[in-house]
Structures are given as structure tokens and as C-alpha cells.
Amino acid sequence: MASNTKKLNKGAQAEELLRFYFLKAGYYVIRSIPYSYENFDITDIDLFLYGRVSALSREKTIVDIKNKKTPQALERIFWVKGLQAALKMDRAVVATTDTRPAVVNYGKEQGVIIVDGHLLKRLEKLSLEYKYRLTDNEFLDLIDEYPFQKIDGGWKNRIINSKRMLILGMNFDHINFWIDNGYFFASQVIDNPDYKQHALRCLYLMCSFVLIGIDFQMKEVSSMDYSERIDFMNEGFTYGAKGRNGTNNAVRNILTLLKSVPQGGGLANQLQLSLDKGFEQLNSNILSEYFSKTEISKSLFDLAREFEVLAMNKEFIHHSSQPNLALKSVLFCLLDYWKIQRSLFEELSV
């Protein structure tokens, strides 16, 4: 295997190998996503694949990988099928060292795609091609190079929690969460010059999450005209997954509860004014107008893949060196939304 996988166990090596294989196949791929329910940790998703099939269709896939002498492939098919249903994924894949025909046949019966031991063996030649990429482990190790990352906003936890959202529906609550984390890392680029490259990598990854989330939402409005797309996006960026009506109903219930207690009327009025002011200051129209443009919305998926490459390339690459000007355009749009001066960011990030 390539030098960047020598410290990985066999399972992690297989995950990195298959991640690169699916990246080459044109997917957007994220490795090792924790899945939990309330306070219970359930499992890790080895690979999450996202594909833009057409203007109206997107495809989400989970991949379960077992690189062991006794992979228990039939049991893994049964397990991943249930996980696919729980996460509402479009497809499920099991990658296994098992080479028995019965495994492939059972997978077909269950609607699960099988990458068997024969194909895994042939894919090993790709290990020489992805040595320029950081593994997931190396990416997190880079974050740990900043000795205060835990107490200075929890860099690693932000990355891990952001990855969690990818398998939970990619609604506007998740998109807004990624945007907020993007603001954190953009601020770190300016305020933490000794680790600005580390912060930029994290920012690029957040940008890729944001773009994938917006691309997923865009399938709902691809047939609408520009003004209708703006309204849809603006409501999501401003009010989240519940939308204007859902948020207003929740606020109304809280205000009613406040007014029911002694002297609660004044508090309710203050809360209403504060919320109204907060919504007005969001400047969501900056994002809505930009991402609703046809030429931008069509390129969201490809741009997300390019930002992921910037985040994970072993040799650091600054966005300003890239020939695709749309990368900088996306970043500048987000900087405007965050009210971060473009020229200041560009000067301090190099």
C-alpha cells in the first residue's frame, strides 16, 4: 500500500481504497460518519456516497466494508439493508473479502450491491494513485497539531459533528449548521495565523458540505423560475427546515407560554423584537440570490468535489491558485454573508 496507509489497519486501508475508487467513479465521498440516536452510538458508516444523477434526481448510498478473513458477508448484507431503510438511503453496498457466489446472489435478492474479494484484490493497484491524498486519520491528526483545538472552539468535534449531518437528510437545519461552522473556520483563518492552513482545510470541507446540501435541496426547485427558487432558498436559510410557518408556530407557542405567567408579557414582547431583529440581520438574500442562479446551481456538485479535494490534498493547495474561478466566487459569497471583508481574508489567508 501507499505510504499514507502504512499506519492504518486493514479495515481503514480498505475504506480509503474504496473511497478513492468511488471518487474516481464520479461520486462525492465521505468516510467514517458516526451514526447515533439521541445519546446512543449505533455504528459508523464506512463510506457515504452522493451522486447527482440528473437535474431532478440525486442518489445517496452507504457502503459497509469488511476486510477480514471471516467477513460474515451474509450477516453484513442483512445489517446494511436495515441501515439503508433507517437512513432512507437510495442504495446500499457491501464490500467484502468473501468470494463465494452465494454472497453475490443473496445481495441481489436483497437489493444490495456486492463488491467481493475478487474486485477488492483488483482495486489494490489504486493504492499507488491516491498517495497524494490525506487519509481521514491524517486529516484529523493535522487538526491535533493545533494544541488548543479542543478548548478553542473544538475543531475536531466540529468536523465530526458536521459529518454526522450528511446521513440525516441534508435539510436546511444541517446546511445552516455547516454554514455556521464555516464562519468559525473562516474566522480562525484570520485570527489564528500559525494554523491558517489547518483552518482553511476545515473551511474547504465545510464549503463542500454546504454545496452538497444545497445541491440536494435544489432538486425540489429545479423546475421553478429564478424568483421562486430565491423564495424557497431564502426561507430555508432564514428559518431552517421548519420554514417560516413552522418557526412562527413554535415562536407563537413560546410567546403564549410566557404571557401566561406573571409579568411575562414584557418578556414576550422583548423576545419577539429580538427574534425579528435577528431574522432581519441574517442577510439570507445574499445566499439565496447567488445559489439560485442557474449556472451556479448546475455546478454545485462539481464544486463540492473540488472543495473536498482542496481539503484532503496532502500538499496544501490555496483556493486562489485554482483555475476554476467559481471556487473563489462561492467562497466570496459566503464571506459576504458572514460580513468578512474579502480583501482582508485573501491577504491573511495566503
Indicate whether 3 belongs to any domain.
Answer: no
| Domain end position, chosen among 66, 94, 125 | 125
Structure confidence by residue, pLDDT tens digits, 162-198: 999 999 999 999 999 999 999 999 999 999 999 999 9
Q: Residue 274 to residues 51, 90, 234, 270, 300: CA-CA distances in angstroms? A: 40, 41, 20, 6, 34
Which tens digit of pLDDT belongs to each residue from 26-46?
999 999 999 998 889 999 999
Residue 6 has pLDDT above 60, yes or no: no
Residue 82, domain member (yes or no): yes
Output the pTM of the full model. 0.91
Tell me the pLDDT band of 255, cut-offs 50, 70 and 90: confident
User: Between the CA atoms of 47, 86, 156 and 291, what dihedral angle is there, to the nearest 10 degrees?
Assistant: 80
In the chain, which residue ranges form alpha helices assigned H by DSSP?
10-24, 73-87, 101-110, 117-123, 136-144, 155-165, 172-191, 196-218, 226-239, 243-259, 264-280, 284-291, 294-297, 300-312, 325-338, 342-349
85 within a domain of the structure (yes/no): yes
Residues 27 and 173 in one domain: no
pLDDT greater than 70 at residue 249: yes
Same domain membership, residue 86 and residue 51: yes
According to DSSP, the residues that pair with 91 across neighbouring strands are 61
- Same structural domain, 90 and 143: no
CB of 94 closer than 8 Å to CB of 40: no
Q: At 2, is the pLDDT very low, low, confident or very high (cuts 50, 70, 90)? A: very low
Q: Is 163 among the domain residues?
A: yes
Stretch among 64-78, 150-164, 207-221 having the lowest mean pLDDT: 64-78
Q: Name the band, by pLDDT with cuts 50, 70 and 90, for residue 275.
A: low
Counting the structural domains of the chain, the total is: 2
**Cβ contacts of 39 within 8 Å, gap of 6 or more:** none
Tell me the C-alpha distance between 14 and 190, whole Å.
Answer: 37
Considering the domain architecture, whether residues 28 and 119 belong to the same structural domain is answered as: yes
Domain-terminating residue out of 125, 148, 163? 125
What is the share, in percent, of the chain residues with pLDDT greater than 90? 71
Per-chain mean pLDDT for the chain: 90
- Does one domain contain both 142 and 117? no
pLDDT confidence of 4, banded at 50, 70, 90? Answer: very low
Full residue range of the structural domain in which residue 302 is found: 136-223+285-349
* Whether residues 216 and 292 fall in one domain: yes
Task: Confirm whether 87 is domain-assigned.
Answer: yes
- The answer on 34 and 70 residing in a single domain is yes
Whether residues 55 and 197 fall in one domain? no
The H or E element containing residue 93 is strand 91-96
Residues 91 and 157 occupy one common structural domain: no
The verdict on 112 and 145 lying in the same domain is no
* Residue 266 confidence class, pLDDT cut points 50, 70, 90: confident
Cell of 161: 459533528
Residue 269 maps to a domain: no
CATH number (domain holding residue 77)? 3.40.1350.10
Q: Is the pLDDT of residue 3 over 60?
A: no
Whether 5 is in a domain gets the answer no
- 155 and 94 part of one domain: no
Closest Cα partner for 63 from 36, 84, 40?
Answer: 84
Q: What is the pLDDT of residues 215-237, one digit of tens each?
A: 999 998 988 999 999 999 999 99
Specify whether 152 is located in the same domain as 290: yes
Domain boundary among 125, 144, 173: 125
Residue 267 belongs to a domain: no
Q: What is the pLDDT of residue 265?
A: 74
